[in-house]
Every structure is written in structure tokens, then in C-alpha cells.
């Protein structure tokens, strides 16, 4: 489900766009105007990094063939429009899994590379780009360039996390990881406050493949930052679930006329969510589709956020000041009248990203999802940015549609190197209002 399809049903940030196929784009090479294009995958980024309102989008999902898969080594080559779900469907019966998976399998490989996406195992395996062996890039001058850490290495690094600006990714070669089972054994641990979380998380990261936590953003006083931590590993081969579980497809047909996600309902929901988990640790085995991609079974889930839609603020900041920074971010959202529907806290590990502008970096990452309330939400997002920048952190461009050029500059000081390698044909709304605004001075 593309966010565009949703926006076009009356969402304010949506607008009709021109769209062509990768083949049509290639046919136009030789007569391409500057900044007139942008590749797009499944359109699942929340921000304006996948929009070029004064240009034309290249719809990469149309090129979606798996070109090769070696079930001995787990090396897979595919066109950029293949989804992560397509890869899992092919690889899971051979006991291979994506080494990094975001919380939806509907994204394309091109989109996963261009935003260098991360999963719950960043502490051990880094981000998506760390598992890309090589890719082919079509530049608007007509060259097809093979890029890898050894060949055209600078362009490779600029393309990982490069937000589609270095050219059209045609195909990607990935190394998948061997697993005993795609399903997971999950340890669920309740924590009473942020101090307990920070005590738990390091050990959980040393012992488990995946670690993530939900935090009750509305809890105050000595309960500030209480929540639930999940630490998981792939289950052993004796796991009783079928490889590809059947999923019941649910649907949210329209946006509710009243705001269901307000601080009263969310306080009650958070209380229930916290109390549902008894103190101590419980262990269960969970189907991989439920564990990794819970929203993929619900069509139009983002309609629950109301007519203005969902706003996401994700940041990463150094471990040294993470307890204070996390508390400040949670408190600021509360004080400014926003209740988050989903709040995720995660430790990012030390694996060096392969992208020039990759967002994941060592530290802690907090993701706040809330309903967009217009002007007051923009003020809140700006206030959150200031806290993150002051803490020496970065704001994710993936969900962003309004970060200031200064906040972008502080988050991604290497942007000039990407600008130097940008394909002149490509631009996005995001790049215009951040990097190009900075360049114009
Ligand atoms: C429910 C949900 C959960 C999510 N969970 C996570 C998560 O856990 N971790 C995480 O990191 N992200 C997460 N995301 C964000 C998502 O993984 C990224 O936004 C991803 O980039 C979307 O891929 P897409 O195919 O939809 O790309 P789009 O949104 O269409 O585009 C994203 C970027 O990729 C570029 N691009 C796409 N295809 C190509 C191509 N062939 N060549 C060059 N550039 C290309 C576009 O220009 C754009 O800059 C989540 C999103 C949703 C909706």
C-alpha cells in the first residue's frame, strides 16, 4: 500500500503526479532535463524524500524480477522493484532470511537501499546497505555503472542512503542470512521506567539477534519511560509453524470522522498494553510475519490516524546522553499536547554504515508516531529537532517533510559530497528544501 494512494483520498500532503516506467525513462535518455525525475518504489516513506512535485516519478515497482538465487550461498540478485516480501517468499523455504528487515515487507529493494533501512538487529548486523554486494545504477547520461565497495566505490556509498538522487538503481545483489527457522522465539520483558530499560538493553543486545522496545510516552513521575522490551532470535528448526503462514487480511475502509487516537484513549490503551505483560520475563514462539511485519496484514492502517494522517519523528543520539535525551523528547511531546500512538526505542550498534548519508549510526534511536494536528505538530517536531541536534544526534529524513536546512546540515554534514555525485536529472522535494536551500545560501 503506497502512502500516495492514501494521501490521494483527501490527505493534505498529496497531489497528483506524473509517473513513467523505468523503460520510458531509459528511452528519454539524451533529452533529459535537470532535476526533472525521481525514482519511487512502493511509496511507503512517510516524508517528501520520495516526491518531486515539479517533476516526474519513475515507478520502479514495475521491474520486479528475481534474477538469480543460489540456495547454497544465499546470494540473491534482483531488479530494484522486487519487494522484501518477494525475497522472503523465495528464500524462506531454503532457510534463508533477509539479514535486515524493516517493519514492513512491502518496501522495494530500491527503496530499502536508497533509505538504508534498518531492523531490530541493527546492534549486530548494521543496516540494509551493509548486506549489498553490488548494484547497477543507470545515470541520466546513459551509462550503466556497476557499483560495489570495490568498483565505483564513491558512487556506491553515495547511493546507499542516497534517497534516489544518484540515479536509477536497476538491480541489486544481496547476501541473505542462513536461519534455522524464519519464525522467532521471543522474550518479553516489562520495564518500570527508563533507568530499567537502559540497564536491560545492553545485555539483551549481547544475547539476542533482535531487540526493540515500546515505551509508554504518557507515563510520568517515577514511571517515566516504562514499557515493554522484546528480545528475539530465530527459533530452532523444530518450530511447528508452516514456512509461509497464511495471513488474514484486515482493512480500515475510511478515516474515522472523530479523532479516536487522543490522549484519553491512548492513556487507557497504554495502561492496558503495559499491564497485559506481567512483571518479569515470558517466552513465546511467534510467526515471522506477525513478529516482523505486523501492519502488512491490515489494508489502510494509516487511516486510523485521521484525515491529516500520520507524522513520524525518528532520531538517533549518542549513548552517552541517551537517558536524558530520551526523557526530554518524551516529555516535550507530552507537554506540547501530543500523545504518540507508537513509541519505539532501540539501540543502534557500532557497525559502520556503508552509505555516505545513512541515518543509522551508533547510539539510541527513538521513533514517535502521532496523528498530525497541523501547526501545533510542526512546532513540536521543530522542538524535538532542537533537542536532538543539541544532543549531537540526527533526524531521519525518511519520515520527514519539514526539517529545517540547519537541522539537516547538523544531522548529515556529508551532504555536499552527495550533492557533488547527484545525478543532475534527479531531485526531490526534500533535497530542494534542505540541501539545495543550503547551497543557495
Ligand atoms: C509500516 C512501515 C514500517 C516501517 N518500518 C521501518 C523500519 O523498521 N526501519 C526502517 O528503516 N524503515 C521503516 N519504514 C520506512 C521504509 O522502510 C522506507 O521508507 C523505505 O525506503 C520505503 O521503500 P519504498 O519501496 O516504499 O520506497 P519509496 O518510499 O517509494 O522511496 C524511498 C526512497 O527510495 C528511492 N528509490 C526507490 N526506488 C529506487 C530505485 N530503483 N532507484 C533509486 N532510488 C530509489 C526514492 O527516490 C526515495 O528517495 C517503514 C515504513 C512503513 C510504512
Q: Which residues contact 181 (CB under 8 A, 6 or more apart)?
A: 95, 234, 235, 236, 237, 239, 241
Report which ligand 1 atom has the smallest distance to the Cα of 295. Answer: 1
CA atoms in the 13 A half-sphere facing the CB of 306: 15
Q: How far is the CA of 53 from the centre of ligand 1 (A)?
A: 18
CA of 116 to the centre of ligand 1 (A): 8
Question: Distance of alpha carbon 126 from its chain centroid, rounded?
Answer: 13
Task: Specify the ligand 1 atom closest to the Cα of 166.
Answer: 43
Q: Which residues contact 324 (CB under 8 A, 6 or more apart)?
A: 391
Give the distance (Å) from ligand 1 centre to CA of residue 312.
14
| Alpha-carbon torsion, ordered 81, 83, 87, 93, to 10 deg | -140
Residue nearest to atom 28 of ligand 1 (CA): 43
* CA 83 / ligand 1 centre spacing (Å): 10
Instruction: Give the separation between CA 168 and CA 47, rounded to whole angstroms.
Output: 19
Q: What distance in angstroms lies between residue 383's CA and the mean position of ligand 1's atoms?
A: 25
Element housing 164 (H / E): none
- Asked if residue 102 has its Cβ within 6 Å of ligand 1, the reply is yes
| Cβ neighbour number for residue 108 with a 10 Å cutoff | 28
Q: Is 24 helix (H, G, I), strand (E, B) or coil?
A: helix
Q: Name which of 337, 403, 334 is nearest 49 in CA terms.
A: 403
- Name the residue of 14, 42, 44 to mutate for ligand 1: max ligand atoms within 8 A of Cβ: 44
Task: Determine the distance separating the centroid of ligand 1 and the alpha carbon of 173, expressed in angstroms.
Answer: 18
Question: Does 189 contact ligand 1 (Cβ within 6 A)?
Answer: no
Q: Residue 50, SS3? A: helix
**Cα–Cα dist 323/362, whole Å:** 15
pLDDT attached to residue 66: 98
pLDDT by position in tens, the chain (length 441): 344 443 433 333 445 569 999 999 999 999 999 999 999 999 999 899 999 999 999 999 999 999 999 999 999 999 999 999 999 999 999 999 999 999 999 999 999 999 999 999 999 999 999 999 999 999 999 999 999 999 999 999 999 999 999 999 999 999 999 999 999 999 999 999 999 999 999 999 999 999 999 999 999 999 999 999 999 999 998 888 888 887 777 778 777 766 777 888 999 999 999 999 999 899 999 999 999 998 898 888 788 777 778 899 999 999 999 999 999 999 999 999 999 989 999 999 999 999 999 999 999 999 999 988 899 999 999 999 999 999 999 999 999 999 999 999 999 999 999 999 999 999 999 999 999 999 998
State the cell numbers at 254. 475510511
380 CB within 6 A, ligand 1: no
98/132 Cα distance (integer angstroms): 11
Minimum-distance ligand 1 atom for the alpha carbon of 398:
19
Q: Which CATH architecture has domain 184-404?
A: 2-Layer Sandwich (3.30)
The finding on whether 107 has its CB within 6 A of some atom of ligand 1 is: yes
Residue 379 has which C-alpha cell?
A: 512546532
Q: Please tell me if the CB atom of residue 161 comes closer than 6 angstroms to any atom of ligand 1.
A: no
What is the whole-number distance in angstroms between the Cα of residue 194 and the centre of ligand 1? 30
Which CATH entry fits the domain spanning 61-179+410-440: 3.30.465.10, 3.40.50.300, 1.10.10.60, 3.30.1600.10? 3.30.465.10
Q: Where do the domains of the chain lie?
A: 61-179+410-440, 184-404
Q: Give, using CA atoms, the residue closest to atom 9 of ligand 1.
A: 102
Q: 417 and 360 in contact (C-beta within 8 Å)?
A: no
pLDDT score, position 2: 42
d(CA 169, CA 114): 9
The residue whose grid cell reads 499491564 is: 275
Identify the CA nearest to 214 among candidates 229, 224, 195, 202: 229
Pocket flag, ligand 1, residue 162 (CB < 6 Å):
no
Q: What is residue 255's DSSP assignment?
A: -
The Å distance, Cα 112 to ligand 1 centre, comes to 5
Q: Map 287-334 to HEC letters.
A: CHHHHHCHHHHEECHHHHHCCCCEEEEEEEECHHHHHHHHHHHHHHHH
Residue nearest atom 44 of ligand 1, based on CA coordinates: 164
Nearest CA to ligand 1 atom 32: 111
* Ligand 1 touching residue 80 (CB < 6 A): yes
Cα 206 to ligand 1 centroid, rounded to whole Å? 28
Of 36, 114, 297, 346, the residue with max ligand 1 atoms within 8 A of its CB, to mutate for a pocket test, comes to: 114
Cα(108) to ligand 1 centroid in Å equals: 7
Asked if residues 10 and 3 have their Cβ atoms less than 8 Å apart, the reply is no
Alpha-carbon span 380 to 370, nearest angstrom: 11
Would residue 139 be called left, alpha or beta, if left means φ above 0 and alpha means ψ between -120 and 50 degrees? Answer: beta
**Radius of gyration over every alpha carbon of the chain, rounded to an integer in angstroms:** 21
According to DSSP, the residues that pair with 347 across neighbouring strands are 364
Given the CA of residue 46, which atom of ligand 1 is nearest to it?
19
Ligand 1: centre distance to CA 107 (Å): 6
Amino acid at each position: 500500500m503506497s502512502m500516495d494512494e492514501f494521501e490521494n483520498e483527501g490527505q493534505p500532503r498529496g497531489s497528483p503526479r506524473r509517473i513513467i516506467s523505468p523503460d520510458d525513462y531509459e528511452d528519454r535518455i539524451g533529452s533529459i532535463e535537470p532535476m526533472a525525475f525521481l525514482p519511487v518504489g512502493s511509496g511507503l516513506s512517510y516524508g517528501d524524500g520520495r516526491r518531486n512535485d515539479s517533476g516526474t516519478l519513475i515507478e520502479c515497482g514495475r521491474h520486479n524480477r528475481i534474477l538469480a538465487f543460489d540456495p547454497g550461498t544465499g546470494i540473491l540478485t534482483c531488479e530494484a522493484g522486487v519487494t522484501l516480501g518477494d525475497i522472503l517468499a523465495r528464500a524462506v523455504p531454503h532457510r534463508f532470511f533477509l539479514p535486515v528487515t524493516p517493519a514492513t515487507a512491502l518496501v522495494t529493494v530500491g527503496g530499502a537501499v536508497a533509505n538504508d533501512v534498518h531492523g531490530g538487529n541493527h546492534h549486530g548486523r548494521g543496516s540494509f546497505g551493509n548486506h549489498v554486494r553490488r548494484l547497477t545504477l543507470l545515470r541520466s547520461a546513459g551509462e550503466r555503472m556497476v557499483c560495489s565497495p570495490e568498483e565505483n566505490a564513491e558512487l556506491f556509498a553515495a547511493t546507499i542512503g542516497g534517497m534516489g538522487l544518484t540515479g536509477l538503481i536497476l538491480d541489486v545483489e544481496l547476501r541473505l542470512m542462513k536461519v534455522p527457522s524464519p519464525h522467532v522465539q521471543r522474550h518479553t520483558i516489562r520495564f518500570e521506567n527508563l533507568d530499567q530499560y537502559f540497564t536491560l538493553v545492553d545485555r539483551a543486545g549481547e544475547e539476542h539477534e533482535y531487540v526493540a522496545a515500546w515505551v509508554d510516552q504518557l507515563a510520568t513521575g517515577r514511571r517515566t519511560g516504562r514499557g515493554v522490551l522484546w528480545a528475539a532470535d530465530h527459533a530452532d528448526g523444530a518450530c511447528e509453524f508452516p514456512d509461509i503462514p497464511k495471513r488474514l487480511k484486515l482493512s480500515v475502509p475510511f478515516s474515522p470522522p472523530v479523532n479516536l487516537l487522543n490522549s484519553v484513549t491512548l492513556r487507557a490503551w497504554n495502561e492496558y498494553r503495559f499491564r497485559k505483560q506481567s512483571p518479569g520475563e515470558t517466552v513465546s514462539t511467534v510467526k515471522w510475519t506477525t513478529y516482523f511485519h505486523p501492519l502488512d496484514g491490515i489494508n489502510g492502517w494509516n487511516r486510523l490516524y485521521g484525515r491529516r494522517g500520520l507524522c513520524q519523528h525518528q532520531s538517533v543520539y549518542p549513548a552517552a546522553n541517551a537517558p536524558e535525551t530520551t526523557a526530554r523528547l518524551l516529555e516535550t511531546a507530552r507537554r506540547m499536547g501530543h500523545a504518540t500512538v507508537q513509541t519505539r526505542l532501540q539501540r543502534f550498534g557500532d557497525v559502520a554504515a556503508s552509505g555516505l548519508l545513512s541515518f543509522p549510526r551508533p547510539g539510541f534511536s527513538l521513533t514517535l508516531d502521532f496523528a498530525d494536528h497541523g501547526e501545533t505538530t510542526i512546532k513540536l517536531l521543530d522542538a524535538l529537532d532542537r533537542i536532538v541536534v543539541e544532543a549531537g544526534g540526527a533526524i531521519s529524513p525518511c519520515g520527514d517533510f519539514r526539517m529545517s536546512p540547519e537541522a539537516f546540515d547538523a544531522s548529515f554534514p556529508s551532504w555536499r559530497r552527495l550533492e557533488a555525485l547527484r545525478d543532475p536529472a534527479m531531485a526531490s522535494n526534500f533535497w530542494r528544501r534542505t540541501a539545495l536551500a543550503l547551497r543557495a545560501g
